[in-house]
């Protein structure tokens, strides 16, 4: 009985795959794709983490401010907490639009060219 995995490839095929991936990774087109992703994701991540840390710090050190009533029994802390959920969903929606418009077409083009070579 053969115990080798069904998708096991000969060494020369694996070496060609590695060099193909390395070639794509070194290409200008892949660099542009990474740059486009990073220019969107990194600033947004920094902004969101800063916003979250502001909420945590205010909750710990500005109790009077966070406990201030806004309307009825709703205080500033509750409004900020709900705003955390809202910004999470907005960022996810915004990223999906960005990815569909700018990242997915470039990634699909790279993928198509790699599949043509195989």
Residues 20-55: tens digit of each pLDDT: 888 888 999 999 999 999 999 999 999 999 999 999
Q: Which residue has the higher pLDDT, 21 or 64?
A: 64
User: pLDDT tens digit string along 76-117?
Assistant: 999 999 999 999 999 999 999 999 999 999 999 999 988 887
Distance CA 64, CA 85 (A): 23
DSSP for 22-71, written as a single string: HHHHHSHHHHHHHHHHHHHHHHHHHHHHHHHHHHHHHHHH-HHHHT-EEE
Token reading at 117: 């070579």
pTM of the predicted structure, to 2 decimals: 0.75
Give Cα 93 distance to the centre of its chain: 12
73 CB neighbour count, 10 Å cutoff: 7
Largest CA-CA distance found in the chain, in angstroms, rounded:
74
Closest to 100 measured CA to CA, from 25, 36, 44: 36
Q: In this predicted structure, what is the pLDDT of residue 1? A: 47
């Amino acid at each position: 009985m053969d115990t080798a995995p069904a998708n096991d490839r000969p060494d020369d095929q694996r070496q060609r795959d590695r060099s193909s991936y390395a070639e794509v990774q070194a290409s200008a087109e892949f660099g542009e794709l990474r740059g486009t992703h990073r220019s969107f994701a990194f600033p947004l991540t920094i902004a969101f983490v800063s916003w979250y840390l502001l909420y945590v710090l205010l909750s710990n050190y500005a109790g009077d401010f966070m406990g201030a009533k806004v309307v009825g029994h709703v205080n500033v802390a509750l409004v900020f907490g709900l705003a955390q959920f809202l910004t999470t969903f907005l960022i996810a929606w915004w990223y999906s639009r960005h990815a569909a418009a700018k990242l997915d077409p470039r990634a699909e083009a790279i993928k198509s060219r790699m599949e043509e070579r195989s």
